[in-house]
Amino acid sequence: MQFKFGGRRFIKTSAIAATALATVTLAVPQAGAADATGVWSRPSGSSRIQISSCGNALCGKLVWLKEPRNDVNNPDPAKRGNPLLGTEIVLGMKPTGKADTWKGKVYNAEDGKTYTGYITLHGNSKMELEGCVLGGLICKGETWSRVK
Full DSSP string of 82-122: SBSTT-EEEEEEEE-SSTTEEEEEEEETTTTEEEEEEEEEE
Q: Quote the pLDDT of residue 28.
A: 37
* Percentages of the chain per state (helix, strand, coil), in multiples of 5: 15, 45, 40
CATH class of 2-10+35-146: mainly beta
> What per-residue confidence (pLDDT) applies to 30?
43
pLDDT recorded at residue 31 = 43
Break the chain into its structural domains and give their ranges: 2-10+35-146
Residues 6+ apart with CB under 8 A from 25: 95, 96, 97
pLDDT of residue 40: 98
pLDDT tens-digit series, residues 72-100? 999 999 999 999 999 999 999 999 999 99
Q: Which residues of the chain have pLDDT under 50?
A: 1-32
- The structure's pTM equals 0.75
